[in-house]
Structure 1
Amino acid sequence: MSDSILYFCAACGIRCYTCQTTNPKTCTDILNCTELSLNRCFSLNVDGLITKGCINRGFCGGSMFCCEGDLCNSAIAIGPSVILLLVSSAIITLFL
């Protein structure tokens, strides 16, 4: 019984948000990536146009954000400046 569930889920693939938009809040459509070669979700922002969907991991890299797991491409990746701001705020709070 558990083996059949495992095989069934492996055939499902991953689910990714899919869109082409300039407003990331409107990207709510979900695509079931059932083709086995489409094993990553991606998000790409080129000149304000955001594109999301499924992709083969071999095409990941450069300015394209790729991730593994259901609906992992929902948000725009946090940049280093935001992380630096949060870390510096935490350090200041600890020492004040």
Structure 2
Amino acid sequence: MQLYGALVLLLTLSAACGLRCYTCTASDPRDCTDTKSCSVIFNRCFSLRVDGFAVVNKGCQTSLLCVGAMNCCEGDLCNSATPTGPSVVLLLVSSAMITLSL
């Protein structure tokens, strides 16, 4: 029962802290390691590769401006090229809870 309480607390805290996105302008998307807490008006993370240049731009965005070549996604640190730590940990915890409750 305490595990369920901890999970609810974790989800509440992550929602209260706002959206976090990777932010950078780099030639290699894997070089984007800086993160930023987005302002309230931003509800998406984005990645944009600039044609003609070997540059990737990542950051916070609003869903209304997610058009064209801009790749937008929902969720903390979703604009990464690789799975992020918190996402993997949350997946493992939820899988363990389901397994233990059966």
TM range (shorter): 0.5 to 0.7
Larger C-alpha radius of gyration, 1 or 2? 1
RMSD between aligned residues:
2.3
What TM-score do you get using the length of structure 1 for normalisation? 0.65
Please state whether the residue corresponding to 2:77 is helix, strand or coil. coil
**Partner amino acid, structure 2, of 1:45:** R
Gaps of 5+ in 2: 1-7, 83-102
Shift in Å at residue 56 of structure 1? 0.8
Question: Aligned runs of 1:1-96 on 2, under 5 Å?
Answer: 6=12, 9-33=14-38, 35-46=39-50, 47-75=53-81
TM-score (normalizing by structure 2): 0.62
Q: Which runs of 5+ in 1 are unaligned?
A: 77-96
Misfit runs of 4+, over 3 Å: 8-11
SS at match of 1:58: helix
CA distance in 1, matches of 2:61, 2:47: 10
Aligned residues: 73
Q: Percent identity at matched positions?
A: 52
